[in-house]
Structure 1
Amino acid sequence: MTAEQQTGRKMATRSEVIHCYSQLAACLALMVKLARAKEWGRLPELEIQCAGIVERLKVVEPMELLDSEQMQEARRLMERIHADQDEVCQLVKPQLEKLVARMSFLQQQKNLDKIYGLPH
């Protein structure tokens, strides 16, 4: 491989790292938007997509060092990602608590029905 090809390969890897961070930030921004609108149905699909991007980052990120401009961009994206993650968690947590409470109630109901011989 020539030096020019190696440089091109490094540039592609570097840009892929930033591209992955950009994809992750966009995915989390959409999750925030959906959670604010209480559209919970698409969140699991997007969570899977985010996990895939993170797995890809684990592969490509260690391959190359980013230059200072790219590091700044990566930091900016990571700050946005963390802020959006926090917001999604804050929006989803009450919904999960309601779901757990409802499931507990249904389990208690099922147990009572079983004790008293009622069909469930």
Structure 2
Amino acid sequence: MLVTEFTFELPKGYVDAAGDLHRSGTMRLATAADEIYPLKDPRVRNWPAYLIIVLLSRVVTKLGSVAEVNPGVVEGLFSEDLAFLQDLYNRVNGLTPKTIAAMCPHCEKTHEVAVDPLGESSAIP
């Protein structure tokens, strides 16, 4: 059976307007729509860095007793928690770089080298 939801515990936690701390949550796997529809959002069009805010608000399905995880909630996260959720998103959706062991022809030591997914390149033109 495919696991589509993942529980998490934020390092710091989200503090709501009443001062309540929310740390436990659930994130679901992203769909193609989750990655495409935010590109139409005017906030993302005007400020591409806002994409992660909208994207996380779509896939984080639960955060403590917060009624709805929306972009405003994600905006209110501490930086460490935002980074944590970005990393979790990348890991559960298989977006982390793959590595292989490669031997340096000069020093003959083995090193871990990141390999881009097919169709992508990190090479600088």
Higher Cα Rg: structure 1 or 2? 1
Query: TM-score scaled by structure 1?
Result: 0.28
Query: TM-score scaled by structure 2?
Result: 0.27
More strand by share: 2
